[in-house]
Amino acid sequence: MRALICGSMAYDTIMVFQDRFKNHILPDQVHILNVSFLVPEMRREFGGCAGNIAYNLKLLGGEPVPMATVGEDFGPYRDWLDRHGVDRSHVMQVPGSYTGQAFITTDLDDNQITAFHPGAMNEAHRNSVADAGAVDIGIVAPDGREGMLQHAREFAEGGVPFIFDPGQGLPLFGKAELLEFIQQATWITANDYEIEMLQARTGLSAGDIAKRVEALIITRGSKGSSIYTGGHRIDIPSVKTAAVNDPTGCGDAYRAGLLYGLLHELDWPVTGRIASLMGGIKIEHHGTQNHHFTREQFEQRFIAEFGHGF
């Protein structure tokens, strides 16, 4: 069962400033801001929504097919995907461009200054859903604006059920476009901040949105998540974690769990708990694709967390 994952692939360069930004930024001088931060600690991670979701779904034993556009610097990421058995036949390299890049500097108060270069991501519309052949399910995750619009339309026209996951791409769209996404999607997932923005931009309540799709899934971090479907609300608990090291990518891990449950026609309480556990495992590790487990290990932890298997 193949899942087509439309979204971004990116490198995340993460730097740690061993001080506090507030000690080096003068509030009354921000109009002539010119600062430099020494960052002795730095790491480069593989990221992007399509890459993260595909990696996590592969860990669960799924068959992810990421669809993304990347640049000429994709070599290390390509080798990483190959090493983990992720199909990259629909990852298109765009000549003369860089793969999407996020440069993140964090201070000792966990404040962040981020610069993002979309690079080849802006060419996502060069890929077509039809090129992937037969797929069982899809997801439209944050990507280039035109690519997100096109891929949602192609899923709908092709009769492929898909999740609309606007994420950080939500501000790219106006009311009419968001209403069209909602009309086309089979399921919608968003975190608690994103659902507030989606409601504000569309004029619809969460209940209104839920009525227009088979399920609306809202994640709330450590407070768990809620699934609105068939006029009911199903609350999914968060899991107990050994550590809270890095929340980046937890939403993508959660979405991989959703895809797995939907592909295997599991009920929503089980699907939500698989997703919740995926997010919990991710948060224990730095980076978005540095966690590992076997199927047996995952099943054992699921039983330990929830008291039953799946």
pLDDT in tens, 131-145: 999 999 999 999 999
pLDDT band at 247 (very low <50, low <70, confident <90, very high): confident
C-alpha 190/C-alpha 164 separation (Å) is: 9
pLDDT band at 107 (very low <50, low <70, confident <90, very high): confident
Question: Which pLDDT belongs to residue 114?
Answer: 87
Place of tokens 């990259």: 88
Arch. (CATH architecture) of 2-24+41-295 = 3-Layer(aba) Sandwich (3.40)
What are the E-state strand segments in the chain? 2-6, 10-16, 41-47, 63-70, 91-93, 100-106, 112-117, 137-140, 162-164, 187-191, 215-219, 225-229, 232-236
- Global pTM exceeds 0.75: yes
Residue 87 clears pLDDT 80, i.e. is over it: yes
pLDDT band at 263 (very low <50, low <70, confident <90, very high): very high
Largest CA distance in the chain: 59
Q: What is the mean pLDDT of residues 186-196?
A: 96
**CA torsion, points 103, 106, 111, 112, in degrees to nearest 10?**
0
Question: Is the sign of the CA dihedral 129, 268, 238, 278 positive or negative?
Answer: negative
pLDDT band at 240 (very low <50, low <70, confident <90, very high): very high
Contact 293, 281 (CB under 8 A): yes
pLDDT band at 276 (very low <50, low <70, confident <90, very high): very high
Q: What is the mean pLDDT of residues 166-180?
A: 96
Residue 30 clears pLDDT 80, i.e. is over it: no
Kindly give the pairing relationship between strand 2-6 and strand 137-140.
Answer: parallel
Residue 110 clears pLDDT 80, i.e. is over it: no
Closest C-alpha among 222, 221, 223, 194 to residue 206: 194
Nearby residues of 233 by Cβ (< 8 Å), 6 or more positions away: 226, 227
Exposure of 237 in the CB half-sphere (CA atoms within 13 A) = 7
AA identity, residue 157: E
Average pLDDT, the chain: 95
pLDDT band at 17 (very low <50, low <70, confident <90, very high): very high
SS3 85: coil
